[in-house]
């Protein structure tokens, strides 16, 4: 994969809106990430609480250009309902440009089924639903390529190239060897690290899996997210560095409302 063409040097900022899972805790809400550049604001996943948190950090939800969904689990999709409803009834405000909502194969059907009980409430104007497909695409100034993940039948992750930066978001996934190549020279590798090694599952990752990814393919920054409550109170960066022997990659444990600039 070639790096995207550098259009201009601009600030690329990732804001973690939800670093948790389906289990709500005081510290962590469900998955949601805001990627902002000088020219666009996009969301990756839209779990419960995402839209409200946008308002909390002063980002107008009507200014979001695109939303990219990794899979259909409720902790990644449930705030699409308030997002669409609030777009239809924005209370004195107005959406002025189209909102693209993208998801994996089966997404058209998923949205149509959501609209069965909610009907017109989930049919605001200026909203376009898309399935991402497999080809690299330029979407609102970002080069986007998806990859299959090991989680559900249709689950995907996203590789984003913008302003010469490579950002990878795994969504939920178990470990598979292709993740090492995906992480190579990433400026930010946002990965799920859901559970401790003692609770290993095939569809989620643990610190040993992350160490396997970072061993030889150093991303500059790795952001550990989608953390179940049993991950709190652990020194995850130290644990991963000890297993991998790689002390170069900066390992950040995500927190809700944390901002990372590249």
Task: Report the interface residues with Zn ion, using CB under 5 A.
Answer: 73, 75, 172
Sign of CA dihedral 76, 103, 99, 90: negative
CB of 75 to Zn ion, least distance (A): 4
CB of 52 to Zn ion, least distance (A): 18
By C-beta, is 75 or 256 nearer to Zn ion? 75
Query: Are 61 and 81 contacting, i.e. CB atoms less than 8 angstroms apart?
Result: no
By C-beta, is 75 or 239 nearer to Zn ion? 75
Q: How many residues does the chain have?
A: 262
By C-beta, is 87 or 225 nearer to Zn ion? 225
CB of 151 to Zn ion, least distance (A): 6
Q: In 3-state terms, what secondary structure has residue 120? A: helix
Residue 89 sits at φ, ψ, to 5 deg, of -125, 75
- 80-88 and 107-118 helices, crossing angle to 10°: 60
By C-beta, is 73 or 166 nearer to Zn ion? 73
CB of 147 to Zn ion, least distance (A): 16
By C-beta, is 151 or 241 nearer to Zn ion? 151
CB of 154 to Zn ion, least distance (A): 11
Angle at the Cα of 208 (from 205 to 209), degrees rounded to 5? 45
For the chain, the helix, strand and coil percentages under 3-state DSSP, each to the nearest 5: 25, 25, 50
């Amino acid at each position: 994969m070639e790096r995207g063409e550098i259009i201009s040097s601009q600030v690329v900022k990732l804001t973690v809106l939800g670093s948790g899972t389906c289990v709500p805790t005081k510290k962590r809400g469900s998955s949601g990430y805001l990627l902002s550049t000088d020219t666009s604001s996009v969301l990756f996943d839209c779990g419960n609480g995402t839209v409200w948190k946008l308002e909390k950090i002063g980002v107008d939800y009507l200014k979001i250009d695109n939303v990219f969904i990794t899979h259909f689990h409720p902790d990644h999709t449930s705030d699409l309902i308030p997002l669409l409803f609030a777009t239809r009834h924005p209370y004195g405000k107005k959406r002025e440009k189209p909102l693209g909502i993208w998801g994996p194969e089966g997404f058209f059907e998923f949205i149509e089924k959501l609209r069965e009980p909610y009907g017109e409430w989930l049919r605001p104007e200026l909203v376009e639903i898309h399935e991402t497909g497999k080809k690299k695409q330029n979407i609102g100034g970002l080069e986007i390529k998806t990859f299959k993940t090991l989680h559900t039948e249709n689950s995907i992750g996203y590789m984003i190239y913008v302003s010469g930066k490579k950002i990878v978001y795994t969504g939920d996934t178990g470990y598979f060897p292709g993740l090492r190549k995906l992480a190579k020279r990433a400026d930010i590798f946002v990965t799920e690290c859901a559970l401790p090694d003692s609770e290993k599952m095939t569809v989620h990752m643990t610190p040993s899996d992350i160490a396997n990814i970072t061993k030889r393919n150093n991303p500059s920054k790795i952001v550990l997210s989608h953390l179940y409550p049993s991950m709190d109170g652990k020194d995850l960066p130290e644990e991963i560095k000890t297993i991998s022997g790689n002390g170069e990659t900066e390992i950040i444990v995500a927190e809700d409302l944390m901002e990372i600039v590249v």
